[in-house]
Each structure stands twice: as structure tokens, then as C-alpha cells.
Amino acid sequence: VASEPHINLSADAARQSLVLLKNDGVLPLAADTKVAVIGPNADNWWTLVANYYGRPTQPVTALEGIKAKIGEENVTYAVGST
């Protein structure tokens, strides 16, 4: 289940499921863009799996993904309200 072909298929399905309705030149983010990521679920992989009873082998939270894309130095994170 956690084989490379399955991981690639899952990533491809995720990419194809996204729809951008309007882009005013914001995306893609430039490498030096400064962003704030706010919310208790941004750095919690458990919320990504919700009612799935397996255990992900390579979970990436929204916060981790954004940091990987534009660099940790360009990201400010706050839990916000819980």
C-alpha cells in the first residue's frame, strides 16, 4: 500500500483534484514570498486522515508543505484559536 507507485498515484490524484477558480497573479508563490499560516490544523497531520483507519507512512501537513516550497524563513505560523 505504501509502495512508490501507490504514493505517486495518490500524489497525482491530489494534484488533479485541485481547482483554481481565480488567480490574480498570486500563484505560484515566488520563492521569496512571505506568508502567514494560521490555524490549529495547519501543522496537524492527524486532521488530514480524519476517519481513515490506516496510518500514513509519509504525512505532510499544510505547514510543512508550504515551508518546503518557499522556505521556513518565509513562513510565520500561529495556532490561532482552537
Residue (of 6, 2, 10) closest to 57 by Cα position: 2
Give me the amino acid identity at 48.
L
pLDDT of residue 53: 66
Instruction: Give 78's pLDDT tier (boundaries 50, 70, 90).
Output: very high
Q: Note the pLDDT tens digit of each residue in 57-73.
A: 778 899 999 999 899 99
Instruction: Give 19's pLDDT tier (boundaries 50, 70, 90).
Output: confident
pLDDT of residue 82: 67
Residues 6+ apart with CB under 8 A from 33: 70, 74
pTM of the model: 0.70
Give me the amino acid identity at 2.
A
